[in-house]
Chains A and B, each alone.
Chain A
Amino acid sequence: MSVGETVIGPPARPTPAQWVRKNLFSSPFNSALTVISVLVIVLAARGIGRWVFVTADWSPVVQSLRLFAVGPYPAEQLWRIWFIVYMVSFLMGVSGGRFGGTVRTFAVALAVAFGVLAVLPISPDYLPLDTRLRLLLNPVMAVAGYVVGRRAPIQARWLPLAWLSSFALTIVMLGGFRNVALLPYVESGKWGGLTLTFLLALVGIVASFPIGVLLALGRQSNLPVVKALCIVFIEVVRGVPLVTILFMVSIILPLFLPDNIRIDRVLRAMLGMTLFAAAYMAENVRGGLQSIPRGQYEAAKALGLTGFQTTLLIVLPQALRVVIPAIVGQFIALFMDTTLAIIVGLLELLAVGRAVLNSNPAWLFRDMEVYLFIALIFWIFTFSMSFASRRVEAAVGLGKR
C-alpha cells in the first residue's frame, strides 16, 4: 500500500433487522413466499414431531439395538467387537490430536456420539448399565488418544499405516482362528448388522481404490495386452448391475471352483463389491489423468524422471486431487450399495431390519420406524463422508485455482 493512502474498512455488517428485510421481505412476492414457506415448515415439523414422539412405536428398534449393531455375533465373544471400537476411538483421538482441524472435528463428533448413546433414555433391559459403561469408555479412549497425539512425537506418515493395520486387526478379531482358544473362530455367517455393513463398505473402499488406480493406469498403458485387458474388465463390469455381479460371484463362481475350495460367503460379497467399485474407480481416475496437461509429462521427462517416478510423483497426486469429489461420491454409493448384500444372504443392516420385523408378529406394521431408523444411520455416515470430502477439497485448494 502506498504511503498516505486512506484506509477504508469493509462495510459494516448488517443488523439482524436489516438482514431479515433484505433477505426475507424484499418485495411483496418474496414476503408471501417467506410466509408460505414458514407455514409449510411449521406444519411439517408438527406432523413429523407428533409422529416421532406420539404415534410411532419404536420398540422394534429399541429392543433390537444389539442386533442392529452386531447381528447374530455370539454374545460371549462381543468383547472382540468392543475391542475394535475402542481401537477406532483411540486412533481417532490420536489422529485428531496430531492433525487438528477437520480430523479433530470428527474425533470430537465420534466421542460425543458415544457419550450420547451411553445416556439414551432407554430401559436398562435393552441398554444395560455395563453396555452404557462400555460406550462411555470410548470418549475416554478418544481423549487418551488425543493426549498421545498432541504430546508424543508421532510422525504423520505413521498414522495411515496405523489405520491400515487396525483394519487388518479388525478382520482378524472378528473372524478369529479355528485353533486359538482365546480367539475362537466365528464364522462369517454370524457377522451382521452395522458391523458387517461397515466391513463390506471399508473393504470395498480400501481394496477398490488401488485396484481402480492400477486399472486406470493400465488403460493408458503403451502395452497393448495390458491395455486391452483393462478396457475389457472395466467395460464389462460397468455394463452389468451390481446385483448381477453379486449373484455371479456368490452362486456361479463356486460352480467353477473345485469342491475342496469353498470361498466364504462374506468374502465372495466383498470380492464382488470390490471388483464392481474398482471399475468405476478406474473411470473416475481416468478423468483425472486426462486433466493433466502434456507439459507436466514433458517437464518431468526433461528432468530425467523415469516413467514410474513421473506417474507416482507428478501425475497421480494431481489426478487424484481433481477427482476427490467423484471418488467420495463413489464411496458413498458403495456404502449404500452394501444393502444389496441382502440378496446373497448376508445379514447387513437392512437384512437385520427385515429380520427384526419378522421376529415378532406385533411389529409387523412397524416397518416405517425400522426403515427410518436404518435410513437415519445411513444418512449420518454418508453426510459425514461428504462433509469430510468438502473439507479435504478445501484443504488441497480445489476450486481456488
Chain B
Amino acid sequence: MQAQGADDIIICRDVHKWFDNFHVLRGITLTVKRSEVVVIFGPSGSGKSTFIRTINRLEDHQRGDIIVDGIELTNDVRNIEAIRAEVGMVFQQFNLFPHLKVIDNITLAPIWVRKWPKAKAEKLAMELLERVGIPEQAHKYPGQLSGGQQQRVAIARALAMQPKIMLFDEPTSALDPEMIKEVLDVMKELARSGMTMLVVTHEMGFAREVADRMIFFDQGRIVEQGTPQEIFTAPKEERTKLFLSQIL
C-alpha cells in the first residue's frame, strides 16, 4: 500500500476512462515521488498515451482521483490551467509551431502564460537551447531542422515553463536511429538533474540507465512494476516476460 506523503507529486487512485463504450483505463493506481523517473512500457493500444495525457488533462478521466502537486484534477478550468503550467509534455510528433522560429516557439508560453518580459524569456530560451545542444538553430524555423533537433527544441519549449513534471510520450519513436541518441542524451541529463519524469518509451537502454521504476501496462491496467533490475532480471508476470522477450 502506498501512503500519501509530502514527497508525492502525482497521485492517481483507481483512475478509469472510457472512449464511448471502450474501457481504456481500468483502475490505475500509482504514486510518483518528486525527482522520480518512471518509464511506462507495454503493447500498442494498452492505454499508455491515454494515461499520461490524463495527467495534464489532455484527456479527462471519468472515475477515480488524480492529484498533481496538491491540485486535484477536476473540470475546474483554473485548476487545469494551473496544472498545465506545471507539467511539461513532449510528443511523439514534436508538435512544434511551424510558423514560429525556434526561439519564438520556446518563448511563447513564458511570455503569454507566465507574462514574462520578452528579454527575460529570450535569455532563458537561449540557455535552454544551450542545454539541449543547439543554440545555433535559434533563428531557424522548425521545418529547417532535423527530427532530432526538432525534438530537442520541443523539450526546451516544455522546459521554458519551468515545469515540475515532464511527460514524454514515445519521444524517439518518430526519429531515425542516428538521431535517437541525441534526444535520449538530453533526457538522461534532465533525469539526473532531478526532474520528475514520466516516460512512455520502448528504449530499454534508457530505462536501464536512468529509470527509478518501470511500469508494464497492458489492456488498461498496470500489470507489473519494479526497478529496472527487477523487471529485466526477474519479471514476475508471464505477460511481462513475453512482452520483454519480443522487444529485447
Q: In the complex the two chains form, what is the Cα distance from A317 to B112 in whole Å?
A: 16
Contacts of A121 in B (CB 8 A): none
**Interface residue? A304 (CB, 8 A):** yes
Say which one of A30-38, A47-55, A292-300 lies at the interface with B.
A292-300
Contacts of A318 in B (CB 8 A): 97-99
**Interface residue? A314 (CB, 8 A):** yes
Measured CB to CB, the closest approach of chain A to B217, in angstroms, equals 21
Of the listed residues A295, A303, A397, the one surrounded by the most CB atoms of chain B closer than 10 A to its CB is A303
Measured CB to CB, the closest approach of chain A to B53, in angstroms, equals 8
Question: Is the beta-carbon distance between B56 and A302 smaller than 8 angstroms?
Answer: yes
Q: In the complex the two chains form, what is the Cα distance from A298 to B50 in whole Å?
A: 13
**Interface residue? B179 (CB, 8 A):** no
Question: Is the beta-carbon distance between B95 and A299 smaller than 8 angstroms?
Answer: yes
Question: Is the beta-carbon distance between B91 and A313 smaller than 8 angstroms?
Answer: no
Question: Is the beta-carbon distance between A313 and B108 smaller than 8 angstroms?
Answer: yes
**Interface residue? B93 (CB, 8 A):** yes
CB-contact partner of A303 in B84, B93, B99, B141, under 8 A: B84
Q: In the complex the two chains form, what is the Cα distance from A111 to B158 in whole Å?
A: 50
Question: Is the beta-carbon distance between A302 and B58 smaller than 8 angstroms?
Answer: yes
Which 6 A-B pairs rank lowest in CB-CB distance, beginning with the nearest?
A299-B95, A303-B109, A295-B95, A304-B85, A302-B89, A304-B84
Q: In the complex the two chains form, what is the Cα distance from A397 to B100 in whole Å?
A: 12
**Interface residue? A157 (CB, 8 A):** no
* 27 examples of A-B residue contacts, CB within 8 angstroms: A295-B93, A295-B95, A296-B95, A296-B97, A298-B58, A298-B91, A299-B96, A299-B97, A300-B97, A302-B87, A302-B158, A303-B84, A303-B109, A303-B157, A303-B158, A304-B81, A304-B85, A305-B113, A306-B81, A309-B113, A313-B112, A314-B97, A318-B97, A321-B99, A397-B141, A397-B143, A401-B143
Q: Which of B108-134 contact A (CB under 8 A)?
A: 108-109, 112-113
Question: Is the beta-carbon distance between B88 and A302 smaller than 8 angstroms?
Answer: yes
**Interface residue? A390 (CB, 8 A):** no
CB-contact partner of A305 in B58, B96, B109, B143, under 8 A: B109
Measured CB to CB, the closest approach of chain A to B50, in angstroms, equals 13
Measured CB to CB, the closest approach of chain B to A315, in angstroms, equals 10
Contacts of A151 in B (CB 8 A): none
**Interface residue? B161 (CB, 8 A):** yes
CB-contact partner of B112 in A296, A298, A305, A321, under 8 A: A305
Q: In the complex the two chains form, what is the Cα distance from A201 to B109 in whole Å?
A: 39
**Interface residue? A21 (CB, 8 A):** no
Q: In the complex the two chains form, what is the Cα distance from A364 to B238 in whole Å?
A: 97
Question: Is the beta-carbon distance between A304 and B113 smaller than 8 angstroms?
Answer: yes
Q: Which A-chain residue is minimally distant from B96 (CB atoms)?
A: A299
Of the listed residues A299, A300, A313, the one surrounded by the most CB atoms of chain B closer than 10 A to its CB is A299
Question: Is the beta-carbon distance between A303 and B161 smaller than 8 angstroms?
Answer: yes
Q: Which A-chain residue is minimally distant from B82 (CB atoms)?
A: A304
Q: Which of B42-87 contact A (CB under 8 A)?
A: 56, 58, 81, 84-85, 87
Q: Known contacts being A309-B112, A313-B112, is A302 close to B99, with CB within 8 Å?
A: no
Q: In the complex the two chains form, what is the Cα distance from A303 to B98 in whole Å?
A: 16
Contacts of B113 in A (CB 8 A): 303-305, 309
Q: In the complex the two chains form, what is the Cα distance from A314 to B109 in whole Å?
A: 11
Q: Which A-chain residue is minimally distant from B86 (CB atoms)?
A: A304
Contacts of A295 in B (CB 8 A): 91, 93, 95
Question: Is the beta-carbon distance between A301 and B84 smaller than 8 angstroms?
Answer: yes
Question: Is the beta-carbon distance between B161 and A304 smaller than 8 angstroms?
Answer: yes
Contact with B along A314-325 (1 / 0, CB 8 A): 100110010000
Measured CB to CB, the closest approach of chain B to A351, in angstroms, equals 43
Contact with A along B132-172 (1 / 0, CB 8 A): 00000000010100000000001001100100000000000
Contacts of A293 in B (CB 8 A): 95
Q: Which B-chain residue is minimally distant from A302 (CB atoms)?
A: B89
Contacts of B58 in A (CB 8 A): 298, 301-302
Q: In the complex the two chains form, what is the Cα distance from A293 to B161 in whole Å?
A: 23
Q: In the complex the two chains form, what is the Cα distance from A295 to B143 in whole Å?
A: 15
Contacts of A309 in B (CB 8 A): 112-113
Measured CB to CB, the closest approach of chain A to B174, in angstroms, equals 11
Measured CB to CB, the closest approach of chain B to A304, in angstroms, equals 4
Contacts of B141 in A (CB 8 A): 397
Question: Is the beta-carbon distance between B109 and A317 smaller than 8 angstroms?
Answer: no
Contacts of A306 in B (CB 8 A): 81
Contact with B along A117-158 (1 / 0, CB 8 A): 000000000000000000000000000000000000000000
Q: In the complex the two chains form, what is the Cα distance from A318 to B113 in whole Å?
A: 20
Q: In the complex the two chains form, what is the Cα distance from A100 to B90 in whole Å?
A: 40
Given A296-B95, A303-B158, list of 8 further CB < 8 A pairs?
A299-B97, A300-B97, A303-B161, A304-B109, A304-B113, A313-B112, A317-B99, A318-B98
